[in-house]
Amino acid sequence: MKEQLALRHHEFGKADAVLRLESLPRPEPGAGEVGVRLLAATINPSDYGRMDGRYGLLPELPAVAGREGVGVIESLGAGVEGVECGQRVRFTDAGAWREQCCLPVESLLVVPEGVPTDQAAMAFINPPTSYCLLRQFVDLKAGDWIVQNAGNSAVGLAVIQMAKALGIHTVSAVRRAELIEPLKVLGADQVVLEGSGWERGVPDLTKGKGLRLALNSVGGTSAIAQLKALEEGATQVTFGGMTGEAVRFPTRYLIFNDLRLLGFWWDAYCRTAERGAVEAIMAAVFEMQANGSLCLPIAGKYSFSEYKEALAHHQSPRLGKILLTP
Ligand SMILES: NC(=O)c1ccc[n+]([C@@H]2O[C@H](COP(=O)([O-])OP(=O)(O)OC[C@H]3O[C@@H](n4cnc5c(N)ncnc54)[C@H](OP(=O)(O)O)[C@@H]3O)[C@@H](O)[C@H]2O)c1
């Protein structure tokens, strides 16, 4: 039987402790399926949540890790029509850190020509989240200002680039001064340092305009600083909790400033959105990737056998995603 390499865990725990490089049977496409070879997969914070058992939706064990990647169709099962070998598609989200998978033809998300393969590998979770965060909570107009933390994250960088294309201005908070210039080069209007008291200088940052929307993927004191900075009636959307700290409930800002605190989860959106909505968002993401207005940096590429180095790089200060390329 043909084999393939995969990164798999048999229990929940810290990635470094539970992840193993294993040889698994290579699947052959059945009727109505296509066989897909991985080109590149992404490492995301949610992969760690799924491995250590903290994520909102957990896999059955043993589980191949990873949720995002792009592959190329290499074989067609009986009765498959409408796609051909050589086309690039989203790789399986149920364990993307493997070399081969089979997918039902009706589930395929085809990557249009013109989208660079590395960008396509990072297209399916963070950019559509950024798109939804900018479009679905506040009716933003060109000239409006928003604030976000983790400005150097993939979501943060996609927010910066998409907002720029929409004429919306961004204040992005980061933890390291060396990120300020690179983020400005990528299109950020203002980049501030966490813990610097930036929230007291909003009129200077925004030339007198208020902040209508805050995007929070950090939590803790970073989220509180955002709430202090927002204008009356503004909205904070929480979609991540990188610090892992408990969030203090900001009673006085809710009452006296009439703030709205909301949450967002792309996975849930994909399950509940109206027919065609996810496809329309992905089409918008692919178009921006193809025309270059959305281009996320890559900090490193590693083969499956170098996965320990890849995880270590992912957990160290960086600007850009880590890709696994078999
Ligand atoms: N709800 C959803 O649907 C959804 C979808 C996509 C992503 N997310 C969430 O969005 C966040 C960003 O994801 P991503 O893939 O864009 O991230 P990423 O590119 O891997 O970057 C990670 C970011 O988190 C920051 N960070 C790491 N540890 C931190 C800590 N202890 N305190 C403060 N900041 C910390 C990093 O800053 P440094 O460089 O300073 O370490 C960096 O800005 C994650 O929380 C992820 O789970 C949520």
What total of structural domains would you count in the chain? 2
What was the pLDDT predicted at 121? 98
One domain for residues 25 and 48: yes
Q: Would residue 131 show up in a list of annotated catalytic residues for this protein?
A: no
The amino acid at residue 289 is: Q
Residue 252 has pLDDT above 80, yes or no: yes
Per-residue pLDDT band for 33 (boundaries 50, 70, 90) equals very high
Cβ atoms of 260 and 235 closer than 8 Å = yes
pLDDT in tens, 108-128: 999 999 999 999 999 999 999
The CATH number covering residue 161 comes to 3.40.50.720
Decide if pLDDT at 181 tops 80: yes
- What is the position in ligand 1's atom list of the atom closest to the CA of 175? 40
Q: Which of 267, 284, 307 is the last residue of a domain?
A: 267
- Same domain, yes or no, for 140 and 259? yes
pLDDT at 211: 98
Q: Is the CB of 42 under 6 A from ligand 1?
A: no
pLDDT at 286: 98
Q: Is 12 in the pocket of ligand 1 (CB under 6 A)?
A: no
What CATH number does the domain containing 308 carry?
3.90.180.10
Catalytic residue among 55, 253, 269, 307: 55
Place of tokens 């993939």: 154
> Residue 257 falls within a domain, yes or no?
yes
The residue to mutate among 42, 136, 153, 176, having the most atoms of ligand 1 within 8 angstroms of its beta carbon, is: 153
Please check whether residue 326 is in contact with residue 304, taking contact to mean a CB–CB distance below 8 angstroms. Answer: yes
**Maximum distance among all alpha carbons in the chain?**
67
Q: Is 266 in the pocket of ligand 1 (CB under 6 A)?
A: yes
Question: 114 with 176, same domain?
Answer: no
Same-domain check for residues 251 and 139: yes
Could you tell me if 135 and 237 lie in one domain?
yes
Phi-psi region of 219 (alpha: psi -120 to 50; beta: other; left: phi over 0): left
Ligand 1: atom nearest CA of 267 is 3
- Region 85-98: mean pLDDT is 98
Are 95 and 60 members of one domain?
Answer: yes
Looking at the structure, do residues 102 and 66 belong to the same domain, yes or no?
yes
Mark whether 207 and 252 lie in a shared domain: yes
Q: Clarify whether residues 18 and 94 are in a common domain.
A: yes
> Over the stretch 61-77, which tens digit does the pLDDT of each residue have?
999 999 999 999 999 99
Range of the domain at 301: 3-122+296-324
Give dist(CA 255, CA 111) in Å, integer.
46
Q: What is the pLDDT of residue 247?
A: 75
Q: Is the CB of residue 45 below 6 angstroms from any atom belonging to ligand 1? A: yes
Could you report the per-residue pLDDT of 214-233, keeping only the tens digit for each? 999 999 999 999 999 999 99
Any domain includes 173: yes
Using CA atoms, how far residue 150 sits from 54, 155, 164, 320, in Å, is 20, 8, 17, 12
Q: What is the pLDDT of residue 248?
A: 78
Q: What is the mean pLDDT of residues 90-107?
A: 97
Half-sphere exposure of 318 (CA within 13 A, CB side): 19
281 located within any domain: no
Query: 87 and 158, same structural domain?
Result: no
Q: What is the dihedral of CA 161, 164, 170, 175, to 10 degrees?
A: 20
